Amino acid sequence: MTVNELRSKYIEFFKSKGHVEISGKSLIPNNDPTVLFTTAGMQPLVPYLLGEPHPSGTRLTDYQKCVRTGDIDSVGDPAHLTFFEMLGNWSLGAYFKQESIAYSYEFLTDPKYLGIPSEKLSVTVFEGENANGTEIPRDDEAASRWEEMGIPRERIYFMPREDNWWGPAGQTGPCGPDTEIFYDTGKPKCGPDCKPGCHCGKFVEIWNNVFMQYNKDAEGHYTPLARKCVDTGMGAERTVAMLNGQATVYDTDVFVPIINKIEELSGKKYGTDEKTDRSFRVIADHVRTATFILGDPQAVTPSNVGAGYILRRIIRRAVRDGRKLGLDGTFLTAPAAVVIEEYKNAYPELEEHKDFIFKEIENEEKKFLNTLKKGEAEFEKLLPNLQKNPQKIIPGRVAFRLYDTFGFPIELTQEMAEENGMKVDVEGFKEAEKKHQELSRDTSGQQFKGGLIDHSEITTKYHTATHLLQQALVNVLGPQVAQKGSNITSERMRFDFSFERAMTKEEIKKVEDIVNEQIAKDLPVTMEVMDLEAAKKSGARALFGEKYDKQVSVYTIGDFSKEVCGGPHVQHTGLIGHFHIVKEQSSSAGVRRIRAVID
């Protein structure tokens, strides 16, 4: 089976069960400062899982592009990826455990769809616990339903919270137990305690159904929800590898053409030895991820902060592994072209942004190659003093400075040290890196605390204020103004928009005054569901580059603003408070950025 086939079968199946196919969203989350990338299919749907009405109804399905970089250093082994596709289906109060489990079992075992023998499946369910004085019972309902479907009790495992519980998204809100579905690869058990969740490779998780049935309050108490939701997720690449009996995700159809192109460029053969294979996998994964990030309608570009830093790191790791395969100079646009060709039907935005993708990748490759030259020169400069050390060891802090200041990878420092009869204190390097990461984590923890994801009162006010701000900017600067993105925390809002020059003090004051006028008028905020074309004809503004479903929510603020949006919003503008623009600055070429606060 191919990834394209799995994607089509999945969507076809859930549409046959009354689900509406909705569009996957941007890889760059809008109004969610808690993460740099979209990390799961449910992430764009959090507002609807938390109670917002979805314009497409209560039964939904889609495929979503995702990026996770928490295990980036493990990429290169047979299993880890930074970019992947998540297939998902949702019930927003339409059905619960009985139907959800039945749908999953049918899709997995029906010969029309995946045709997996039932005896190959095992499942885990929540074992129950006492949570802060609240007794949460074990999920006997899910276990019994699996048994009814044909999974015997001995292949149903009760597991604790860390294995079978989701949420809430913030400190409070909807959450609940989940049931995870595992495929038995046929490998022997690694020991008497081997069961789903064991990392020996016998059991592979292929699907997760989350049952949001509780609300967690600020005191940590759990109460049953009146409106229960289901959120599911299936990783496309991992499932295809499992169905085909392939040893790794890199043997699937989406990676083979990319690896073939790297073979052609390098003259090396994949599958000859583990060290070379690791470099092939790093390049294949990272070029695919970089292509999707740069091909996104809300693309970031390589930089030293946030998502741009992750993108820079991904491209540079691919270049570094290219050097290990003997690839000098720029080479990544060739495998990037293969990625675009493979995915352009499912993700047409890649073809649309092809030239931009190639330009940014090649520019970053050139910058990194220049950085490597500088790092090599700095190493040569330090060498005479380093060689005075009778132990012939390069201190870890020196190696980390080369890495942190010059972007010079530790592996290259080790290679050059070896050429000069020296070794690197790798443990000292790791310690210096750990201290740096802890400092960065503390900083980003401050930067990203709070956020729209918890639907707090203050972030809801900020979100509504972005509508007023955009219309005020159009009124003052002209119709060429279009939103390019926004970021909201509980302390401030950030709003990016297209405009070629800096705003004058007078323009900033005028925009601020217009927003405060609309707040003072206490305008009503109303929502109407309509199809996308009707929304556009009615004059509703839509976010630049965003993908929309056929049915959309249109929020109207008095006679001032009309916009396609997913919420949440205050009911009338008088609830917002006083709006103040703190700063107006350049964000990137042709894009300005406003930072504002509400008093």
Binding residues for Zn(2+): 463, 467, 565, 569
Q: How far apart are the C-alpha atoms of 183 and 196, rounded to whole Å?
A: 9
Question: Binding site, residues?
Answer: 463, 467, 565, 569
How far apart are alpha carbons 361 and 289 in whole angstroms?
11
Dump the DSSP string for 515-559: HHHHHHTT-BEEEEEEEHHHHHHTT-B--TT----SEEEEEEETT
What span, in angstroms and rounded, lies between the C-alpha atoms of 194 and 27? 36
Which residue, among 268, 350, 274, 278, has the nearest Cα to 318 in the 3D structure? 278
Cis peptide before 524 (omega within 30 of 0): no
Q: How far is CA 355 from CA 2, 8, 283, 350, 471, in A?
A: 28, 29, 20, 10, 32
345 Cβ contact list (under 8 Å, min separation 6): 4
Backbone Cα Rg of the chain: 26
**Euclidean distance between CA atoms 223 and 216, whole angstroms:** 7
What are the C-alpha distances in Å from 140 to residues 136, 145, 175?
11, 8, 18
- 430 is written with which tokens? 């790791």
Helix 3-16 and helix 97-109: axis angle, to 10°?
Answer: 140
Q: Are 567 and 553 in contact (CB under 8 A)?
A: yes
